[in-house]
Structure 1
Amino acid sequence: MGFHTFPIDRADALEDPSRYRFCSREELIAALELDDGAAVADLGSGTGFYADDVAPFVETLYAVDVQPEMHDLYREKELPDAVETVTADVSALPFDDDHLDGAYSVMTHHEYASEAAFAELARVLRSGGRLVTVDWSADGPGDDGPSVDERFGLEAVTDQLEEAGFSIELAHNRPETLFVVARR
């Protein structure tokens, strides 16, 4: 897989409510199993589409993105009080060990997937913390999202996470995407 970023000139597509057909707000929040005092990271937050949904349910939501321009666009929308933007690669998160209660990525796993990123997630998530991954599946038809050759299959994603020390609680394919809940 080649690393790439989402084109800034197409960032308005990240605000399209039809994205909920791949992962709803309720599904994501339920999978995270968080309490009001939680610290959570949105990995590849973009313009904050899902961060806006999760922020009311946590104390701190770190909107992590490698593109500072995405944070600029998010700020134009007005950040919720709980949100802090973090410009960083998932393989080099600026958090202390065991800092996060949870983390999630929606349609970005294929962009940061590496041994270094998974090791970093294992470092910053507390014991028992959940990592929710929703991404385009290599097992899908490729009608939406990136080309199938840029995606991982469900088995590859669960293998990546297990090798980094996560236990898989839920993993299934859907028509175009995969959904994985892992616990550190």
Structure 2
Amino acid sequence: MGFHTFPTERAEALRDPSRYRFCSREELLESLPTGPETIVADLGSGTGFYTDDVAPFVGTLYAVDVQDEMHEFYREHGVPDGVELVTAEVASLPFDDGELDGAFSTMTHHEYASDDSFEELARVIGPGGRLVTVDWSRDGDGESGPSLDERFSLDDATDQLEAAGFTAESTRQRPETFHLVARR
């Protein structure tokens, strides 16, 4: 992934419920396709914090992370049924064309943002599928998350996805983060 990856020695911090102040389970679920046959990927799944929240509402959830150590941490806490751990970069996903009904990333867009990644997401998310992105905003105050120079603005992220063939359905700028739902 891009600028950096989260330090694995701080993995426990990714399971902190105070993260819901940036994106609640309900906000994420209302934006994603759900159902017993639905296939979704969590991009930059880390310790599975949000993966655990989404898994009961979809048929298959791929927890994608570039760091094997994060998957090991997740295994120690228990991986729910229907979740498959995938070690891969977003720019090189091991999925068939159009295999995914949707994907989401929470606080990781800035780590994988590249033309190759966006093209890969356009390849693996089927027509009509949704990509939900919640990330640290360049327009935030920088008190939480990565430094401002590692972040993207909501407009930048929207432009990146639209250049790859997505259409922005919903955008929300918040004090420290943005929420973007794009349809393939």
> Do Structure 1 and Structure 2 share a fold, with TM-score over 0.5?
yes
Aligned to 2:135: 135
- Does structure 1 conserve the Cα–Cα contact (< 8 Å) formed by 2:2 and 2:113? no
Do the aligned partners of 2:3 and 2:150 also contact (CA within 8 Å) in 1?
no
Give the 5 Å matches for 1:75-90. Answer: 75-90=75-90
Q: CA-to-partner distance for each residue in 1:49-106, whole Å, 9 max, x for gaps?
A: 0000000001100000000000000000111011000000000000000000000000
Is the aligned partner of 1:98 residue 2:114? no
DSSP 3-state at the match of 1:98: coil
Deviation string, structure 1 residues 112-150 (Cα, Å, up to 9, x no partner): 000000000000001000000000000011111111111
Deviation, 1:109, is 0.2
Instruction: Show the counterpart of 1:74.
Output: 74
Q: Deviations over 1:27-65 (max 9, x none)?
A: 000011322210000000000000000000011000000
Q: Which amino acid aligns with 1:147?
A: S
Q: Is the 8 A contact 2:2 2:112 kept in 1?
A: no
Q: Alignment identity in percent? A: 69
Identify which range, 78-87 or 32-41, moves more after superposition. 32-41
Question: 1:2 offset after TM fit, Å?
Answer: 5.1
> What letter corresponds to residue 67 of structure 1 in structure 2?
Q
Cross-structure match for 1:3: 3
| Pairing 1:22–2:19 present | no
Q: Aligned partners of 1:89, 1:47: CA distance in 2, in Å? A: 16
Give distance in 1, aligned partners of 2:53 and 2:82: 11
Structure 2: how far apart are the matches of 1:99 and 1:20? Answer: 29
SS at match of 1:145: coil
2:59 aligned residue: 59
**2-structure distance, mates of 1:102, 1:2:** 22
Structure 1, gaps ≥5 residues long: none
**TM-score (normalised: structure 2):** 0.98
Deviations 1:135-183 (A, max 9, x none): 0000011111111111000110000000000000011210000000000
Letter aligned with residue 63 of structure 2: A
Task: For residue 38 of structure 1, give the secondary structure of its aligned residue in structure 2.
Answer: strand
Question: Which residue of structure 2 lines up, in the alignment, with residue 176 of structure 1?
Answer: 176
Match of 1:117 in 2: 117
What value does the CA root-mean-square deviation take over the aligned residues? 1.0
Q: Runs of at least 4 residues of structure 1 off by over 3 A?
A: none
The secondary structure found in structure 1 opposite 2:35 is coil
CA distance in structure 2 between the partners assigned to 1:6 and 1:49 by the alignment:
14
Counterpart-to-counterpart distance in 2, 1:88 and 1:94: 8
